[in-house]
Structure 1
Amino acid sequence: MKKSVILASLLSVVFVSAQVADSTRTRDIDEVTVSSSRKVQKVVDVPATVNIINAKDIQQFTSFNVGELAARQKGVDFVRAGVLGTGINIRGFNSAFNSKNLQITDDRISTLVATGLPFGTFSTVIKEDIEKVEILLGPNGTLYGPNAHNGLVNTISKNPFKSQGTIIALGAGNQNVLTSRIRHSQEISKKIAYKLAFEHIQGTEFNYTDSVYVNNIAYPELDLDRDFNSTKFNGQVNYKVGSLSELVAYYGHSNNNNIAVTSAGRNQIKDWNIDELQLKYLHPRFFLNSYYQWSNTEDTYAMNQRTQNYVSFINAGFSPDVARERSYMEQWFGASPTAGIALQRGSRFKDDSKRWVAEGQYNNTWGGFTVIGGAQFQRDMAFTKNTYMLDFNGPINVNQFGVYGQTEYKIDGWAFLAALRVDKHDYYGTNLLPKAAITKKLGDGTFRLTYGKGMAVPSLLNLEGYLFGGLILGNGVGFTLSDGSKINPLQVETINSFEVGYKGSLHKKLYIDANAYYNLSENFISPLTQLATNGRTVTHRGDTPLSQIPGANPAYVLTYSNFGKVDTYGVDLGLSYYFTDAWKGVVNYSYFGRKMDKSDMANDGNKDGKVLDTDLPVNTPANKVTVGLNYSSPTFFGAVYGRWVQDYDFFSGVSTAAKTQDLDGNGTIDITENAYYAPARTWNYGALGGFTVDMNAGYNFSNGMTVGANVSNLLNADIREFAGSPFIKRLVSLEFRYQLDFFKNKNN
């Protein structure tokens, strides 16, 4: 009752404060997208579910963290891992190491080379330079390549010809948050325009220490640093080659210090740098693109492993200074400094990885017939200086080549689409990704029926990992055991997705986007499993004797394998109602379910002889609802959103959050809330989910100045949104934004 009264009061305040005014808001049915078919289309016409966060949404969101806007989108599982960290998942199978959603920024893959994880806060693009973010639900790998398994997040920055001027933004908030941003863009001549951008964010993470257990005794994370900061800058030059073409050159850089959650505990990110250099050619019919990315860190480390190492030295009688220094690379096995042995258990992660991509595309339309074709080459060069990859002989170079084609025919309100992608990868061979769709115009909307295949490729860490001194080895070439049995190399995880949907206006003020889907998934990449069981040992990794891999123990090797299959299904519903041009109400609802045969031992992911939910963790809420109200006028703007996520269990390595329950149905409680969970060696704070309210508001002055405020978790609900993360408290930020009128501004 108290929450509903507070929310109603807030809505009343917004209504009373607002003045009736005209608005330039783009209505949902008028939005355009480029992500579905890599060409401009009205969002109502595309054969996919697309969420669009446009420039106005971003400008009126008075917080430094644009990622929070994903919480307001239908079909998206949004999580906050702390003050800085946010993330999303789409349609199931989330984890603390999730690489199943492909992220693209200005036609650049925005993922780390070695791990496959999204850049997130590592991005080199600042908030003021984002034109829009498009989120596609479901497999979209046909045009974009592997790892658009569950969905695609496409960030598009502003063109300096169309968006000129200087914007300065300053912000502050609790948790010692300070942020400053500046973007300048100018047209030098009719042929040349450029833009420059800079951003710095700093603050302090919530007061939370993830306990590390050694022999069932809890220890705090060693040398935990809760202060975070991120600095980024970029520059771009656009040159018009004739009346239709542009040549674009871009360079961006980011430096990052923060805490990241993984399946093996939390990582202390220290001075992790990302650099990107890109050159592309744009034409209505042609697209050529090439870019080079490099990643570098020398001092990042795994807090869990380092703490275990430190405790082993302290318990053996070493001094704290010696224990702290040796904890980066070694673990002590023995009762005293003179009785024991130090084994390599490296906790420090170094990275000097690089990626080069080149691609081209052609499209054309003849009457109702459209064709799109293209090719992509990607070379990943992973190099971790032997700290978490098997790169003892230098960088691990992996090539991938893909070609794709798509045709679409439109006639009498019908549209028929067929597409196919062929990918050839050095490790997992040749794979086909087909896609098909039928759409029909119905009134002011479109009905669609689609099929698509997606694949989640093993990351280079899955394939060539070498973590904690050989405790974990990647499975890119397979293993041989002492009894002669073989463990097959990892292959791709696949999903076949069928979807039916409708989007359009039911009448002038009500817009609907609804879909139902059914997915067939198989060949999951397993959690880490122990190979040496039943008296067997590991003799070879591929053709290499295990004795030639430093630190590897034939009796204890953890790796990944493929297993099982499961069917998933769900519904996403989005409703937008325009009370006036200024007032917009939003209701989003999603349901997710699954069907898994627990009698099929192929679904036994950890090979313990029984199939449990923890073997194939879906890590997804069954139901979630978002209700929002937006107001936008030339002067005042504001929004209130309430979000409810049904409680759900989350299992991902040591990252565990679940309700008290009997996991295997034998009548014994296996996991208890607010208690130590021995299998994961971690504390279980209980299931994730809950109810939160977010609110933002601001005022535009006539001189180009804007002031605003944003409050996340307005009611200060005591919830956790991600395993291995702190309880998320209220976050308040105030922001001042000033737009200088030195230059004509065409689209800001």
Structure 2
Amino acid sequence: MIKKILFIAFIAFGSLSMVAQTTISGTVKDAKTGELLPGANIKVSRKSVGTSTDFDGKFELKVTDNPPFTLEISMIGYKTEEVQITKKNQKVDVSLSENETSLDEIVVSASRTPERIMESPVTVERMDIREIKNTSAPSFYDGLENLKGVDVNTNSLTFKSVNTRGFATFANTRFMQLVDGMDNSSPALNFALGNLLGMSELDVNTVELLPGASSALYGANAFNGIMFMTSKNPFEHQGISVSLKTGITSQDAAGDNAYNDFNIRMAYAFSDKFAAKATLSYLDGTEWFATDYRNTRNGTYTSGDRNSDRNYDGLNVYGDEVSTNIRGVAQTLVGLGILPNGAAALVPSENISRTGYNERDLMTYEAKSVKFGSSLNYRPFGDDRLEIIWDSKFGVGNTIYQGTNRYNIKDFFMEQHKLEFRGKNFFVRGYMTNEDAGNSYDTRFAAININRAWKPDNVWFGQYVGAYVQGTLGGLTSDQAHAIARQTAESGRFEPGTPQFQEAFDRITADPDLVTGSKFQDNTKLYHVDANYNFQDVIDWAEFQIGGSYRLYSLNSNGSIFTDYDGPIDYDEFGIYTQMQKKFLEEDRLKLTASLRYDKAQNFQGNYSPRISLAYAAGEGKNQNFRASFQTGFRNPTTQDQYIGLNAGRAYLVGSAPDNLDRYLTQPLIVSGFGQGILGTPTTRVSGRAAYENAFSAESVANGAPTKADVPLVQPEKVTAYELGYRGLVKAGEQNITVDLSGYYNSYEDFIAGKNVITPFYGTVGDNSLSLAALQNGDFTVFQTYTNSAADINSYGVSIGLNTKIFKDFDFGLNYTYAKFDFDQSTDPDFEAGFNTPEHKVKVQFGNTNLFKNFGFNMNLRWQNAFVWESTFLDATIDGRTVLDAQINYSIPKLKSVIKLGGANLGGQEYFSAPGVGAIGSQYYISWTINN
């Protein structure tokens, strides 16, 4: 029945296009070179009907309109031309003039209204269809790293984290990513997993990126930057396009491995009222292996390995975090009568760790991404006055995420559905996001619980101590006794590759209870509605906009991540905003933009976010633009900041929402003999409230002078941002050089930070000696709390970009970014800012899209200096690097095809984005793109 309905519908819609009365044909050329232009858009003015030129620069358009009417001919990088159609079967030959500068391109994101980049009130970076086709990177998303001021941190082959203006993490909650207006973030994690579940490269129309605070228009989380990915409309971009890409990744640890990337896009306008499209993307490959086995027992790189440090904790080794003082074990065994009196004196007061498993034994390193998208577009009036869009996106994939631990994200699924009404001056849209963590798991707990599956910790350490005592009594040296002790305790170990190991691995990674398993469980949902109206056709003395948004989170991890043990946790937030733009002086050279937004989240007081900017266009053609702006931004604490309740191995993570503190209790913790006399029980559980109200500062304990931690409940983070900039066209003889210069200064307040505290099992911190006795007897546990730093934190930077033509037809671009931050460590000794950004970055682009007929090339070189990376996973220095990407391409017009051969990191020197991730090697590819 469904097949019949679809068949009838396609016949009905198809018949509408068969009654065309007028046919227009012709060619589109470059006005300067006379070369035919493929991919130019031809449409009837104010109508939905249109087409595009083929690889020979030719087009044919059939319409139901009778002359006279107007055709609009446009192409990215060129000025739009209009042609009057006065008769049927008219032939037209159109020449398009190239924009004088890339700064003439139109952007929408900076002010929610179309304007030239030249006239934007804030810094804007942009990538369009031309640049995507010409990128030397393996994908358009990788190519974002070549933009000025943009960092792309590689978590894995399929998970890249985009960041601007510092404070980078893989869990980048300070940066927002929108895909066709929908927040692409994971509802539970509050950050985007790169383009793993995003947009097909064939469907990308433009990418606009605003570095810096954008809360005045876009609300919470548009804090350090926001990126807009916009897809191609099926009315304007029709046909079937296919991209086939294959190649290899090359890394010392992983070797050479094949990867494949397939994309198809199908779009068709059945009439001037109805159009539809569908996209499918499939990528598979092998992740970068993480094989850094350096010792990190003290939270940073430490000398020694398993052979020289008996308390070894390797970076990409898991399970060896389990460690204890063996003298305490000996004392317990003596008390139980297992060891003779006096045996404890033979055992040194030394911490010993269990033997762990390497990461490569716990992951398949299978990279995979499957994305499907579709949209139905309806224009009830047959023009762009109103368009109704139903948009659905589905994605499933495997990747690796590094947060407090390393997570194997396996069969992760996310779907988004949107209904949008939009016209020239307004939009109203609502969407929902649903995710399922699939078979994802925590590799650290996988290793810990595999170890416990073949031998519980108390048995392992008991055997270790017993063998050590026997060896010592037998005349062995301490080193010899330790060797015998570990050999004895390791008996029965499940070795990777054996059936016993695989059975334990499969069982544990399917178990969401971290006491016995490691599965990452999540079915969180997000519901969002936003709207905007522009009064430009109602008010003529200035341009006014109003808008607002509402968002509802529904956390649902079944108690494995959040404290949602009894059912989903729901909380909401909303915002409203207005903006005014007014032009002054002769030729409207001075533009004032003023915005104000108010946001309120359920657990916090409301925040106002103002923005004001001035832009002055000087020079002939308004090609010298100076701007200054002031704005504030804010960031609401994330779902995890508020509601997490998770054992991360090294610490318990507990969110600071008031209703979260008493819901969370640790798993049962072993109490010392002294503590049992106080509590009257061999085990105890500690509440989340104790972490915030009865705990020692971790740093004070480490320094030998325990003092009470001051941990206020987390509040929204705020930033005040100042920016000056210049964009312009500079003449150097006959050379035109576009210059884009900006400088900024950010001042942060209530910077959201995680703080480690040490919570005693008994006693009141600061009031009596019992809490100190708990520290001395090992009766305590470590929590990571979520709060705000009292430190004064500032960041500032400068970026400059230069673009021109050299040697007549060769494109040359150069940009430099300087980034720095300051804060007084003494104002908050426990705080780590995690700026995680190199101070200096230089990027160079050189290429020619038409070196000779049908042949082009492009090269990108990136250099950055060394910098310090701070995170809960590890603090370490990341070495400086120089990376070269390049591609050559050949067009085959008769086949409507482009063949591209390229590579990333052609120098072959492997590098790290952060400590703990796999070393990034080289990537080589060849692609065949048809009809795009």
Q: What is the CA-CA distance between 1:623 and the residue it aligns to?
A: 0.4
Q: What is the CA-CA distance between 1:534 and the residue it aligns to?
A: 11
Write out aligned runs for 1:122-137 (5 A).
Answer: 122-137=196-211
Aligned to 2:656: 475
Q: What is the CA-CA distance between 1:528 and the residue it aligns to?
A: 4.2
Q: Give the unaligned 5+ runs of structure 2.
A: 1-32, 38-74, 78-100, 249-256, 292-315, 324-352, 461-491, 495-499, 662-688, 696-707, 766-778
Distance (Å, rounded) in 2 between the aligned partners of 1:194 and 1:522: 47
Going from structure 1 to structure 2, the CA distance change for 1:697 and 1:447 (only over 3 Å counts) comes to same
Q: Secondary structure at the match of 2:187?
A: coil
For residue 421 of structure 1, the aligned residue among 585, 597, 600 is: 597
Distance (Å, rounded) in 2 between the aligned partners of 1:592 and 1:280: 39
Aligned to 2:262: 180
Going from structure 1 to structure 2, the CA distance change for 1:329 and 1:486 (only over 3 Å counts) comes to farther
Give the TM-score of the pair, scaled to structure 1.
0.84
Q: What is the CA-CA distance between 1:323 and the residue it aligns to?
A: 4.8
Q: What is the CA-CA distance between 1:125 and the residue it aligns to?
A: 1.9
Question: Are residue 639 (structure 1) and residue 858 (structure 2) matched?
Answer: yes
Going from structure 1 to structure 2, the CA distance change for 1:104 and 1:529 (only over 3 Å counts) comes to same
Q: Name the aligned partner's letter for residue 476 of structure 1.
A: A
Aligned to 1:653: 872
Aligned to 2:478: none
Distance (Å, rounded) in 1 between the aligned partners of 2:366 and 2:401: 13
Q: Secondary structure at the match of 1:718?
A: coil
Write out aligned runs for 1:234-249 (5 A).
Answer: 234-242=373-381, 243=383, 244-249=385-390
Write out aligned runs for 1:66-77 (5 A).
Answer: 66-77=140-151
Aligned to 1:353: 524
Q: Are the counterparts in 1 of residues 136 and 885 from structure 2 also a CA contact under 8 Å?
A: no
Aligned to 2:393: 252
Aligned to 1:300: 440
Aligned to 1:373: 546
Q: What is the CA-CA distance between 1:586 and the residue it aligns to?
A: 0.6
Aligned to 1:193: 275
Q: Are the counterparts in 1 of residues 910 and 922 from structure 2 also a CA contact under 8 Å?
A: no
Q: Are the counterparts in 1 of residues 555 and 570 from structure 2 also a CA contact under 8 Å?
A: yes
For residue 223 of structure 1, the aligned residue among 362, 369, 373 is: 362
Aligned to 2:290: 208
Aligned to 2:824: 597
Q: Name the aligned partner's letter for residue 288 of structure 2.
A: F
Going from structure 1 to structure 2, the CA distance change for 1:63 and 1:519 (only over 3 Å counts) comes to closer
Aligned to 1:669: none
Going from structure 1 to structure 2, the CA distance change for 1:505 and 1:485 (only over 3 Å counts) comes to closer
Spell out, residue by residue over 1:567-586, the C-alpha distance to the aligned partner (whole angstroms, 9 max, x if none).
Answer: 11110111111237852111
Spell out, residue by residue over 1:437-486, the C-alpha distance to the aligned partner (whole angstroms, 9 max, x if none).
Answer: 01111221210000111122211011100212892211122635349997
Going from structure 1 to structure 2, the CA distance change for 1:645 and 1:401 (only over 3 Å counts) comes to same
Count of residues in Structure 1 that have an aligned counterpart in Structure 2: 660
Aligned to 2:844: 627
Distance (Å, rounded) in 1 between the aligned partners of 2:566 and 2:862: 50
Aligned to 1:441: 617
Question: Are residue 382 (structure 1) and residue 534 (structure 2) matched?
Answer: no
Question: Are residue 696 (structure 1) and residue 877 (structure 2) matched?
Answer: no
Write out aligned runs for 1:261-272 (5 A).
Answer: 261-262=402-403, 264-272=404-412
Going from structure 1 to structure 2, the CA distance change for 1:688 and 1:372 (only over 3 Å counts) comes to farther
Structure holding more helix per residue: 2
Q: Are the counterparts in 2 of residues 475 and 559 from structure 1 also a CA contact under 8 Å?
A: yes
For residue 579 of structure 2, the aligned residue among 403, 406, 413 is: 406
Distance (Å, rounded) in 1 between the aligned partners of 2:113 and 2:526: 26
Distance (Å, rounded) in 1 between the aligned partners of 2:573 and 2:797: 33
Q: Are the counterparts in 1 of residues 124 and 208 from structure 2 also a CA contact under 8 Å?
A: yes
Q: Give the unaligned 5+ runs of structure 1.
A: 1-18, 332-341, 539-552, 607-614, 659-686, 740-747
Question: Are residue 277 (structure 1) and residue 359 (structure 2) matched?
Answer: no
Spell out, residue by residue over 1:3-32, the C-alpha distance to the aligned partner (whole angstroms, 9 max, x if none).
Answer: xxxxxxxxxxxxxxxx99788772412211
Going from structure 1 to structure 2, the CA distance change for 1:404 and 1:580 (only over 3 Å counts) comes to farther
Q: Are the counterparts in 1 of residues 632 and 721 from structure 2 also a CA contact under 8 Å?
A: yes
Distance (Å, rounded) in 2 between the aligned partners of 1:330 and 1:314: 16
Spell out, residue by residue over 1:152-206, the C-alpha distance to the aligned partner (whole angstroms, 9 max, x if none).
Answer: 1110000111111111111111131011110011110011111111010000113
Q: What is the CA-CA distance between 1:91 and the residue it aligns to?
A: 0.8
Q: Name the aligned partner's letter for residue 632 of structure 1.
A: T
Q: Are the counterparts in 2 of residues 62 and 733 from structure 1 also a CA contact under 8 Å?
A: no
Structure possessing the higher radius of gyration over alpha carbons: 2
Distance (Å, rounded) in 1 between the aligned partners of 2:120 and 2:110: 7
Going from structure 1 to structure 2, the CA distance change for 1:329 and 1:427 (only over 3 Å counts) comes to farther
Distance (Å, rounded) in 1 between the aligned partners of 2:509 and 2:411: 17
Identity %: 24
Moved more, 695-704 or 81-90: 81-90
Distance (Å, rounded) in 2 between the aligned partners of 1:25 and 1:114: 37
Q: What is the CA-CA distance between 1:699 and the residue it aligns to?
A: 1.2
Question: Are residue 559 (structure 1) and residue 697 (structure 2) matched?
Answer: no
Q: What is the CA-CA distance between 1:224 and the residue it aligns to?
A: 1.3
Write out aligned runs for 1:99-138 (5 A).
Answer: 99-138=173-212
Q: Are the counterparts in 1 of residues 628 and 724 from structure 2 also a CA contact under 8 Å?
A: yes
Q: Secondary structure at the match of 2:450?
A: helix
Q: Name the aligned partner's letter for residue 130 of structure 1.
A: V
Write out aligned runs for 1:483-502 (5 A).
Answer: 487-502=711-726
Going from structure 1 to structure 2, the CA distance change for 1:531 and 1:496 (only over 3 Å counts) comes to farther
For residue 363 of structure 1, the aligned residue among 528, 534, 558 is: 534
Q: Highest relative contact order (Cα 8 Å, sep 6+), 1 or 2?
A: 1
Spell out, residue by residue over 1:543-596, the C-alpha distance to the aligned partner (whole angstroms, 9 max, x if none).
Answer: xxxxxxxxxx98443222111221111101111112378521110101112221
Q: Are the counterparts in 1 of residues 137 and 885 from structure 2 also a CA contact under 8 Å?
A: no
Spell out, residue by residue over 1:83-128, the C-alpha distance to the aligned partner (whole angstroms, 9 max, x if none).
Answer: 3332221111112322111111111011011111113133242110
Q: Are the counterparts in 2 of residues 289 and 358 from structure 1 also a CA contact under 8 Å?
A: yes
Write out aligned runs for 1:489-528 (5 A).
Answer: 489-507=713-731, 509-528=736-755
Q: What is the CA-CA distance between 1:637 and the residue it aligns to?
A: 2.6
Aligned to 1:732: 924
Distance (Å, rounded) in 1 between the aligned partners of 2:118 and 2:804: 16
Give the TM-score of the pair, scaled to structure 2.
0.68
Spell out, residue by residue over 1:244-297, the C-alpha distance to the aligned partner (whole angstroms, 9 max, x if none).
Answer: 1111111110001122222x2211011111111111011111111111111012
Q: Are the counterparts in 1 of residues 159 and 196 from structure 2 also a CA contact under 8 Å?
A: no
Distance (Å, rounded) in 2 between the aligned partners of 1:325 and 1:636: 51
Aligned to 1:9: none
Q: Are the counterparts in 2 of residues 329 and 345 from structure 1 also a CA contact under 8 Å?
A: no
Question: Are residue 711 (structure 1) and residue 910 (structure 2) matched?
Answer: no
Structure holding more strand per residue: 1
Distance (Å, rounded) in 1 between the aligned partners of 2:367 and 2:514: 32
Q: Are the counterparts in 1 of residues 556 and 567 from structure 2 also a CA contact under 8 Å?
A: yes
For residue 219 of structure 2, the aligned residue among 130, 145, 151 is: 145
Distance (Å, rounded) in 2 between the aligned partners of 1:43 and 1:432: 27
Going from structure 1 to structure 2, the CA distance change for 1:63 and 1:446 (only over 3 Å counts) comes to closer
Distance (Å, rounded) in 2 between the aligned partners of 1:438 and 1:76: 24
Distance (Å, rounded) in 2 between the aligned partners of 1:35 and 1:41: 9
Distance (Å, rounded) in 1 between the aligned partners of 2:405 and 2:258: 25
Q: Are the counterparts in 1 of residues 158 and 194 from structure 2 also a CA contact under 8 Å?
A: no
Q: Name the aligned partner's letter for residue 392 of structure 1.
A: Y
Runs of 4+ in 1 over 6 A off after TM superposition: 19-25, 483-486
